[in-house]
Structure 1
Amino acid sequence: MSNRADKALPSQEWLIGRIEGQQLIQNLLCEALMEALRRSGGSVNAPMLDQRFRSWSDAGGPEEPGGPAFTSNWSERHTAYACGLGSFGLSRGIITEKGMAGRLFSVITTQAVAPSPRPYTDRYEYCTQCGACVRRCPDRAITLEKGKNHPPCAAFLDHTRELFSPRYGCGKCQTAVPCESRRPGLKIENGK
């Protein structure tokens, strides 16, 4: 809610949730799940916590035709998509049943786990292409025609790091949009 008001900059609450919230998820929730899986006899790894995890942007990474690659060797969003938790939006975030404004983590285990059904057939199925995220983007890094353009988004994130270090982030494309807290088209039950 705090990130809805100011269109130009992220709220302090959003930045704390982005950085310290993700640390909480990784250090407590992810570690607790991994320990529970180990106790029940499975091998387990959390790719984002593994020393082999890498991400690349402008410098030092693989190139894609026409410009720098913005990629990593593991993606929580793509894992969520493959596991049936949601599809992508114009901003390239994952839209789940609970919406887009959330944090994710994943673990890989040797234990047998029943697969989740994948209720969608298209990778952008939950996105209505309404353009709300386009209008919310303070750096105009998202368009209806091409979706998110990584370089201007990354430049804006660098700017927020200069202003709010050690925190950084934006999240404007995830707040005050129809997919913020639920998948568009889902009926609200019991006022939630």
Structure 2
Amino acid sequence: EWLHGRIEGQAFINKLSMHLKSALINEGYDSIVPALDERFWSKNLGDQHKAKFTSNWSERHAAFVCGLGTFGLSKGLITSKGVAGRFGSIITNLYLPPDRRGYENIYDYCSMCGKCAKNCPANAISVEKGKDHGLCFAFLKKTSEKYKPRYGCGKCQVDVPCESKMP
């Protein structure tokens, strides 16, 4: 179920984002979808800028800045609907009045219960250190060889108190 959300859900978000971008442009607003615009892809930075886990655009961080949620130990974004969600973003010059955020700090919605760490088959999450992206990536790489084209894990986002709500 989680993997379908990751694959088909992301494909839907990408199509919806492009549709919304086109609609905004048709209404006279400049708009881009950073995650789908190659000018935002880290592979275009050259070797001197490459880091292990470099991203020029983060949907989760954009959602945090927009007031949609805060981060958990697994680095997923916890919203009022929980952590098992997907995001898309559009940058536009259309003015939208800001909403008031329901939080002040980056981890306000995480109870630090450690359930995501217990669920992690790669032991990549700990209450003390958060998430080790290297361990997570190594596990995903190993499993992707067996299950391509479908691969992923998501065990840190299911069967946790924040799966479908704020804890």
Alignment-derived partner of residue 173 in structure 1: 156
Q: TM-score, normalised by structure 2?
A: 0.91
Alignment-derived partner of residue 45 in structure 1: 32
Alignment-derived partner of residue 20 in structure 1: 8
Distance 2:6 2:108 in 1: 26
Counting helix residues as a fraction of each chain, which structure ranks higher? Answer: 2
Distance 2:52 2:111 in 1: 27
Distance 2:31 2:70 in 1: 26
Structure 1 residue 87 displacement after superposition: 0.5
Counting strand residues as a fraction of each chain, which structure ranks higher? Answer: 1
Distance 1:167 1:37 in 2: 33
Alignment-derived partner of residue 71 in structure 1: 54
Structure-2 change in CA distance of 1:141 and 1:62 (3 Å): farther
Structure-2 change in CA distance of 1:22 and 1:155 (3 Å): same
Structure 1 residue 55 displacement after superposition: 4.3
Q: Give the AA of the match of 1:15.
A: L
Which secondary structure does the structure 2 equivalent of 1:159 belong to?
helix
Alignment-derived partner of residue 96 in structure 2: 113
Distance 1:21 1:108 in 2: 21
- Give the root-mean-square deviation of aligned CA atoms: 1.6
Which secondary structure does the structure 2 equivalent of 1:133 belong to?
helix
Q: TM-score, normalised by structure 1?
A: 0.80
Q: Give the AA of the match of 1:21.
A: G
Structure 1 residue 34 displacement after superposition: 1.3
Residue correspondence of structure 1 range 15-164 to structure 2 within 5 A:
15-27=3-15, 29-55=16-42, 60=47, 62=49, 69-164=52-147
Structure 1 unaligned residues grouped into runs of 5+: 1-12, 185-192
Deviations 1:98-146 (A, max 9, x none): 1110110000001111112211111000000001101010110000001
Structure 2 unaligned residues grouped into runs of 5+: none
Tell me the percent identity. 54
CA contact (8 A) 1:62 1:69 kept: no
Distance 1:169 1:142 in 2: 16
